[in-house]
Amino acid sequence: MTHGIVTAPQPEAVEAGAEALKAGGNAIDAAVATALVQTAVDPQMCGIAGFGSMHLYLPTLGEHLLLDFYGRAPAAVKSDMWQDLIEREAEDGFGFILKDRVNEMGYQSITTPMTLRALDTALKRFGTMDIADLLQPAIHYAAEGFMVRPHVSYFWNVKEGAGRVPTIEKLKNYAATRAIYFKENGQLRAPGEILTNSDMANTYRRIAKDGVDDFYSGTIAQEIIEDMRTNGGMLAAGDLNLARTSDNPPLWGEYRGLRVATNPPPGGGVMVLEMLNILENFDLKSMGHNSIKYISTLSEAMKIATVDKDNYLGDPNFVDVPTERLISKTHGADMALRIKSGEKTYVSRLGPQVEESKDTTQVTSIDEHGNCVSLTHSLGMPSGVVSAGLGFMYNGCMAVFDPRPGNPDSLAPGKARFTAMCPTIVFKGDDPFFIVGAPGGTFITMGVLQVILNAVEFGMDAQQAISAPRFCATSNTIDVSNRILRSVEAGLNLNGYPTRRTYLSYHFAGVHAVRLTGAGWDGGADPGRDGMAIEV
């Protein structure tokens, strides 16, 4: 009997999720098992001190919701504390570069750790297994070690230009972090070498024994807060005590007769629905996949959604987000007319620009009962900070807040910042058709959009839809992967579009998806992220 399917960027994690299904677990158990192993084997992409959004469609329980767990700015934050430190804005809108990089590295870059709370909450409400049992594979990989994969090594070593602190510098900067990731000879571990993390294993054993509350209000919490207090961090005991997930109804839209459910603000679902509404006014299939016309049309939709994100999207608990207008068919039609008239949208950015790194991960799972999970979780950008003896790295989510007071994503105590995470489910009638999500910073929405279109417009299966070459326009430049035809790029240039080609063949988000058809399921894992899909 087929029990389900799991897809994610890390083979070890996918296998753990598959084993949970084999043991009789449901899609929630599988997703949590996968996510916990991800924190051990991809510890800069995600972690128990991270944040995220979990899209749950659970027909067996009559539930359909977003279990959101966004990192929130500590209570000690002040709205104007960084406004005099601004050097520039990231080109793709993924945060700001500040003097001394205080917002992206170190103790002041940390928002409330939420991931562990969310995984435990999901299990207790919707799962059939206990987190103590599902922690065991993660404990094994932390204690016995995991083999460094190409994408893990790539992320540690990549230097994408001046501005952001490279991850390798974050790994070097703190003694407890350096002791985990560097060998005795001072070299960072290379692909194929084994990385062990005994402190993480011991922390996970403590959580398995004493429960998740120990992390938020017990002895682990005391160690966290003492380290923050000693090193000038803003995170305090009150912030940990207030760490709770939130239930939100899905944000709904339609595209060519299909129903699309995604996450509400401060997530990126608004952008996905807005772009689909714009593009519904074009005959994309007749343009030809990744043709000059196709890329220029999608790029204009991407830029429009990016400008609207910059101007309007933030935490709805703090700002009035015009969600209904942005996702309306009228707005989509108006923006489509702008594109058809030949008008090019300009994306404004503060200061000189370079591309930034993207750090997040994804789990997609379904089970034999039709329960579906799309879980995106992240460290935002890793802070580099590991508390001595605890082994896990904290998020660096403060980096994406706007240090200028008075804007939708400006700093405020208890506020969540915008994230492009958009775990999405496309329905045919009342039945799920395509479950999708991705890591990749501001590239997430653009990757998810293209993969949905590949499946809907061009009839691709999940793996084909994910593997097709992608591009991205989160600025005035169209970024293209190395498999976009050079003749197409030349045509874009002749039409007045600046382009930038990456050396990577698979880029612009790391999309993972499952497609459901009358013939069964098929899953896809992004080739650029080393992952896989397993059906059991």
**478: which strand partners?**
499
- What pLDDT sits at residue 159? 75
Q: What's the pLDDT tens digit per position in 483-517? A: 999 999 999 999 999 999 999 999 999 999 999 98
Q: What mean pLDDT, rounded, does the chain reach?
A: 94
Q: What's the pLDDT tens digit per position in 283-329? A: 999 999 999 999 999 999 999 999 999 999 999 999 999 999 999 99
3-state secondary structure of 471: strand
Look-up: residue for tokens 């790391």? 510
**Domain 248-354+420-524, classified CATH 1.10.340.30, yes or no:** no
Report, as an integer, the average pLDDT of 357-378: 90
- What pLDDT sits at residue 161? 54
pLDDT over threshold 70, residue 110: yes
Report, as an integer, the average pLDDT of 388-395: 98
- What pLDDT sits at residue 501? 97
- What pLDDT sits at residue 495? 97
For residues 321 and 309, what is the distance between their CA atoms, to the nearest angstrom? 10
Contact 534, 365 (CB under 8 A): no
Report, as an integer, the average pLDDT of 330-337: 98
pLDDT over threshold 80, residue 265: yes
- What pLDDT sits at residue 349? 63
Look-up: residue for tokens 């005959």? 283
For residues 395 and 107, what is the distance between their CA atoms, to the nearest angstrom? 10
Report, as an integer, the average pLDDT of 265-273: 97
Which helix (DSSP H) or strand (DSSP E) does residue 448 occupy?
helix 443-458
User: Per mean pLDDT, which of 186-190, 258-262, 526-530 is the most reliable?
Assistant: 258-262
Distance between first and last Cα of the chain? 8
Q: What's the pLDDT tens digit per position in 445-495? A: 999 999 999 999 999 999 999 999 999 999 999 999 999 999 999 999 999
**How remote is the C-alpha of 394 from its chain's centroid?**
15
Backbone angles phi, psi at 90, to 5 degrees: -60, 145
What percentage of the chain's residues is helix, strand, coil (to nearest 5)? 40, 20, 40
pLDDT over threshold 60, residue 131: yes
Of residues 208, 163, 170, the one with CA closest to residue 48: 208
Of residues 435, 357, 524, the one with CA closest to residue 54: 435
Contact 245, 67 (CB under 8 A): yes
Q: Which two three-digit tokens encode residue 209? A: 């024994």
Of residues 327, 323, 326, 444, the one with CA closest to residue 374: 444
Question: What confidence category does residue 135 fall into, taking pLDDT thresholds of 50, 70 and 90?
Answer: very high
Contact 497, 299 (CB under 8 A): yes
pLDDT over threshold 80, residue 93: no
The rounded radius of gyration (Å) of the Cα atoms in the chain is 21
DSSP letter for each residue of 82-94: TGGGEEEE-TTSS
Contact 380, 397 (CB under 8 A): yes
Which helix (DSSP H) or strand (DSSP E) does residue 376 occupy?
strand 372-378
pLDDT over threshold 80, residue 526: yes
Question: Please, where are the H alpha helices in 51-186?
Answer: 115-126, 131-134, 136-144, 150-157, 167-173, 175-181
pLDDT over threshold 60, residue 1: no
Contact 183, 189 (CB under 8 A): yes
Percent of the chain residues past pLDDT 90, beyond the cut: 89
| Catalytically annotated residues | 360
- What pLDDT sits at residue 92? 60
Look-up: residue for tokens 């679902």? 269
Q: Which two three-digit tokens encode residue 410? A: 């400006």
Question: What confidence category does residue 100 fall into, taking pLDDT thresholds of 50, 70 and 90?
Answer: confident
- What pLDDT sits at residue 160? 61
The domain spans of the chain are 248-354+420-524
Q: What's the pLDDT tens digit per position in 136-192? A: 999 999 999 999 999 999 999 987 655 678 899 999 999 999 999 999 999 999 999
Q: What's the pLDDT tens digit per position in 334-363? A: 999 999 999 999 998 664 444 444 578 999
- What pLDDT sits at residue 89? 79
For residues 215 and 56, what is the distance between their CA atoms, to the nearest angstrom? 25
